[in-house]
Amino acid sequence: METYGVEKARKLAQQAVEWCQDMAESWANEVGFIRYLTALELNRPSGWGV
């Protein structure tokens, strides 16, 4: 969670801020959001995505 989730949360938060979603700055530090992204990654079928 600490390696994948935090990095993914930072990237998504930055992208959302670039799209004028000012509240997204806090996403990179929200444990629930980081856990959610990590759970998505762990449950992704192999061979899917990039």
Structure tokens at 8: 């993914």
- Please give the model's pTM, rounded to 2 decimal places: 0.75
Q: How far apart are CA 19 and CA 42, in angstroms?
A: 27
Residues 10-26 pLDDT 10s: 999 999 999 998 889 89
Asked if 35 and 5 count as a contact pair (C-beta separation under 8 A), the reply is yes
| pLDDT (0 to 100) of residue 43 | 86
Indicate the burial class of 9 (C-beta count within 10 angstroms; 0-12, 13-18, 19 or more): buried
Instruction: Tokens 């762990």: give the residue.
Output: 42
| pLDDT (0 to 100) of residue 48 | 64
